[in-house]
Amino acid sequence: MSTVLITGAATGIGSLTAKALALAGHRVYATMRAPEGRNAPRARELRDFAAAKDADIRVVELDVTSQESADHAVHAVVADCGGLDVVIHNAGHLLVGYVEAFTAEEIAHLIDVNTLGVQRLNRAALPHLRERGRGTLLYVGSTVPVTTPPFLGPYVVSKAAMDSLALVTSYEVSQLGIETVIVMPGAFTQGTDHFPKAGRAADTAVAEAYKALDPLVARNEEATASLFTPGTEADPVVVAEEIARLLALPYGERPFRSVVDLTNSEVEQANAAATEARADFVRRMGFGELLELRHA
């Protein structure tokens, strides 16, 4: 089994994934901000779960907005167990509101968390994976770059940027024996802190100019929930189960993308068309080998 580091493991998909992977026999380093501070109850819950299930979950502090924190966390994992096999990029935050009402600084901060946090952790972890000539970068992305829902503008931008960052990084690391997997969860209105803890725009004066749309924003969660087939239990545990399934597949045989969407949004079809166009473009450039994993 693998040694796995996962970000944003305090709540939601991150916590569920840490538990699912530990139950599957992986050694899981569940990272979060302030595990001895404001997240102490969540860190304790993971440790108690591991003890009760005789599973291996080790809580490590990691703030993805800090390169120093990312470097320290990866160093701690490697020092603790001697290596690292899988990095799961899961940490993220949500903003809800009108695009104009968000300052550039607010959007930049969201990108700092949702996108640049990925880059910081990759810079910390890739030297170890490159040295081994093997490893897996698994990104918990989103279907929103395809579906592009309204009133989530900064979030859509940050997730689209993260997806592109994962994709272009995959070209290069594939030639060093490192595979890439992008998991694309659809909308989930329960079981995560995304909607309950979503941020709002600070410029309330601009937001007021859009007040005619307030009723639409007010029923955003309800509108999202209506996308599910009646009777569907939209529990984000299915994302954790899919990640566990993917990591159980042989190294090098895992799919590049996996969509976990219960809203019937035809994301797979959109992905297939985009992948075909991208692959054709790269091959016509003469760089087709970048699309294939080279085993070291």
The 10s digit of each residue's pLDDT in 203-218 is 999 999 999 999 999 9
What count of Cα atoms within 13 Å lies in the side-chain half-sphere of residue 180?
26
Across the chain, mean pLDDT equals 95
Residues 92-118, mean pLDDT to the nearest whole number = 97
175, 287 Cβ separation under 8 angstroms:
no
| pLDDT confidence tier of residue 220, bands split at 50, 70 and 90 | confident
The pTM assigned to this predicted structure is 0.96
57 DSSP β-pair partners? 28
- Contact 290/171 with Cβ under 8 angstroms? yes
- In angstroms, the CA 241 to CA 243 distance is 5
- Indicate whether 148 belongs to any domain: yes
Residue 296 has pLDDT above 70, yes or no: no
Residue 194 has pLDDT above 80, yes or no: no
- Range with the poorest average pLDDT among 22-36, 83-97, 223-237, 262-276: 223-237
Strand order from edge to edge, sheet including 3-6: 57-61, 27-32, 3-6, 86-89, 135-140, 178-185, 257-260
The pLDDT of 83-92, averaged and rounded, is: 97
Domain tally for the chain?
1
For residue 95, list its beta bridge partners: 199
135 occurs within a structural domain? yes
Q: Among residues 19, 2, 7, 216, which one has the least CA distance to residue 93?
A: 7
Question: Residue 133: inside a domain, yes or no?
Answer: yes
Confidence of residue 190 (pLDDT cuts 50, 70, 90): confident
Count the alpha carbons within 13 Å of 146 in the hemisphere toward its beta carbon: 22
CATH code for the domain of 72: 3.40.50.720
On whether residue 95 sits in a domain, the answer given is yes
Task: Give per-residue pLDDT as tens, 40-64.
Answer: 999 999 999 999 999 999 999 999 9
Strands of the chain, DSSP E: 3-6, 27-32, 57-61, 86-89, 135-140, 178-185, 257-260
Per DSSP, the residues of 246-293 read HHHSPTT-S-SEEEE-SS---HHHHHHHHHHHHHHHHHHTT-GGGGS-
Non-local (6+) Cβ contacts of 218 within 8 A are none
The answer as to whether 91 is a domain residue is yes
pLDDT of residue 195: 67
- pLDDT of 196 > 70? The answer is no
Q: What is the pLDDT of residue 191?
A: 65
Has residue 67 been placed in a domain? yes
CB 166 within 8 Å of CB 180:
yes
Q: In the prediction, which pLDDT does 53 show?
A: 98
- Domain region containing 139: 3-291
Residue 296 belongs to some domain of the structure:
no
